[in-house]
Amino acid sequence: MKFELPKLPYDYSALEPYIDAKTMEIHYTKHHQAYVDKLNAAVEKYPGLQGRPIEELLKNLADLKVEEADRLAIRNHGGGHYNHSLFWTYLDPKNQKDELLAKEITSTFGSTEDFKKQFTDSATKLFGSGWTWLVRNGKNSKLEIKNFPMQDSPIMTGDQLIFGLDVWEHAYYLKYQNKRADYIDAWWNVIKIV
Ligand code: MN
C-alpha cells in the first residue's frame, strides 16, 4: 500500500485572511504531494517497509535496513509527509481550545502570552527552513518549545508532538514575502488549541 495525501478537512479558503487560499492549495497539492510521492519512491525497492505506518519508519529511522541515500530520503520526505499531515489538523477551524493544555502552558511558561512570545521568538530566529514545535519531552514529560531543521520531526527524537508551525518560506511567501514575523503573528489566529 502506498502512502497517500490525507484529506484536507476544510476548504483552502477556510483560513483567510490569515493564510490565503492560494498558499493553502499549493502547500497541500504541490508541496505535501511531493513529499508523499518522493517517500513512495524511496521505499519502492524495500517490500518490507511498504504498508508500515510512517510513525514507525521515522521512530526507527537509524535501524532501517536501507541504503543511506534512501534513509535520508525517508527522513526528509517521510518527515515532510508526517509533519504536514499533522499541520493541517492543527489549523482546522473546528478545533477548540484545550483547557487542560492551556493550564499546563500557564504553569510552565508563566502565561499564554509568555508562551506565545517564546514560541514566536523561537520560530522567528529559526535559520533557514524548518519547524517550531511545542512538544512534551519524552524523558521528563515537561512541555518545551523546540526548533527542528528541514523536515525533521519531534517523533524522531522521542518527544511527543503537541503542535508545530511550518516556517519554510513556501508556507508564507506568496502572501507575506520575506516577513516571517507577520506570518507567525497571523498564524496565532488560526491555532484554536491555545
Ligand atoms: Mn510546508
pLDDT digits (tens, 9 = 90+) for 32-43: 999 999 999 999
The CA 149 to ligand 1 mean position distance, Å, reads 12
Mean pLDDT of the region 82-107: 97
The CA 95 to ligand 1 mean position distance, Å, reads 20
The CA 171 to ligand 1 mean position distance, Å, reads 5
Three-state DSSP string of the chain: CCCCCCCCCCCHHHHCCCCCHHHHHHHHHHHHHHHHHHHHHHHCCCHHHCCCCHHHHHHCHHHCCCCHHHHHHHHHHHHHHHHHHHHHHHCCCCCCCCHHHHHHHHHHHCCHHHHHHHHHHHHHHCCCCEEEEEEECCCCCCEEEEEEECCCCHHHHCCEEEEEEECCHHHCHHHHCCCHHHHHHHHCCCCCCC
pLDDT of residue 38: 98
The CA 84 to ligand 1 mean position distance, Å, reads 6
pTM reported for the whole predicted model: 0.97
pLDDT of residue 158: 94
The CA 110 to ligand 1 mean position distance, Å, reads 30
pLDDT tens-digit series, residues 13-31: 999 999 999 999 999 999 9
Q: Is the pLDDT of residue 132 over 90?
A: yes
Which pLDDT band, with edges at 50, 70 and 90, does 1 fall under? Answer: confident
Domains of the chain (ranges; CATH) run 20-90 (1.10.287.990), 99-187 (3.55.40.20)
Mean pLDDT of the region 69-80: 98
